[in-house]
């Protein structure tokens, strides 16, 4: 029987090798888990029943200022002719206000986010390309530094909607957009454990709206 005698240096090398091997195994298992984890890229179809009706959420949301009508000296006279004119202009003004209110509830470029019944997300360099139903393409590049704003603004990605900061937080992808005409758009994108359901929680905060619009969009993966 052989008896091995190790000095301190040899023992230190053995322990160092064992520790390196253990770290390598942990990293290998972690990389395999990351590689197998579902990704948001793919084709998605909207589930209308589980999603918020954006038209209902935006109905009457726009602030409007009522203008005081000016009464001319000639309108002070009474009579059937004057009453008919007043009714005519009243209905005409109501028609203009109704048409104006319909136009104002439209959220502009953000509307395509609220109405797109399908969504395609493809990998694009360091980020993604979101392609909506009307063919609009929107680049999304997550910032490695997280929710950090710098003076240079290099972390922001410009699109037709505005300037967007994308970052990962608590297993969600967050998009904060400074809307071009004022206000903020927040999108929180989460994926189900199985990777087959994509949920986008949207909040739109604009100065000319009465409340913060909240719209949930639920999509299912198209295989």
Q: Each residue of 111-132: pLDDT tens digit?
A: 999 999 999 999 999 999 999 9
Task: Report the sign of the C-alpha dihedral through residues 102, 105, 111, 116, in that order.
Answer: negative
Rama region for 156: left / alpha / beta (φ>0; ψ in -120 to 50; rest): beta
Q: Is the pLDDT of residue 222 over 80?
A: yes
Which one has a higher pLDDT value, 206 or 181? 206
What are the two backbone dihedrals, phi and then psi, of residue 216, each rounded to the nearest 5 degrees? -105, 130
Q: Which residue has the tokens 């505005």?
A: 162
pLDDT digit string (tens) for 77-92?
A: 556 667 777 766 666 6
Lowest mean pLDDT among 103-117, 152-166, 171-185, 193-207: 103-117
pTM value?
A: 0.67
Q: Is the pLDDT of residue 33 over 50?
A: no
Retrieve residue 45's tokens: 């179809």
Strands (E), 15-57: 42-46
CB atoms within 10 A of CB 105: 17
Q: Give the C-alpha separation, 54 to 112, whole Å.
A: 11
The confidence score (pLDDT) of residue 78 equals 56
What are the two backbone dihedrals, phi and then psi, of residue 55, each rounded to the nearest 5 degrees? -65, -40
Q: Give the C-alpha separation, 170 to 30, whole Å.
A: 18
Interior angle at CA 151, CA 145 and CA 154, nearest 5: 55
């Amino acid at each position: 029987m052989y008896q091995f005698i190790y000095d301190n240096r040899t023992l230190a090398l053995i322990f160092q090798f064992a520790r390196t091997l253990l770290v390598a195994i942990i990293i290998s298992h972690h990389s395999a888990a990351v590689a197998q984890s579902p990704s948001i890229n793919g084709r998605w179809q909207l589930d209308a029943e589980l999603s918020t009706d954006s038209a209902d959420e935006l109905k009457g949301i726009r602030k409007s200022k009522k203008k005081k009508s000016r009464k001319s000296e000639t309108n002070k006279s009474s009579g059937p002719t004057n009453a008919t004119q007043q009714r005519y202009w009243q209905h005409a003004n109501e028609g203009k206000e109704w048409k104006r209110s319909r136009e104002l509830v439209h959220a502009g470029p953000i509307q395509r986010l609220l109405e797109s019944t399908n969504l395609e997300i493809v990998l694009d360099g360091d980020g993604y390309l979101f392609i909506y139903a009307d063919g609009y393409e929107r680049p999304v590049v997550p910032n490695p530094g997280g929710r950090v704003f710098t003076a240079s603004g290099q972390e922001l990605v410009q699109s037709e909607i505005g300037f967007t900061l994308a970052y990962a937080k608590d297993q969600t992808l967050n998009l904060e957009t400074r809307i071009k005409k004022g206000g903020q758009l927040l999108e929180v994108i989460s994926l189900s454990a199985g990777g087959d359901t994509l949920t986008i929680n949207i909040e739109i905060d604009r100065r000319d709206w009465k409340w913060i619009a909240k719209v949930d969009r639920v999509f299912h993966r198209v295989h």
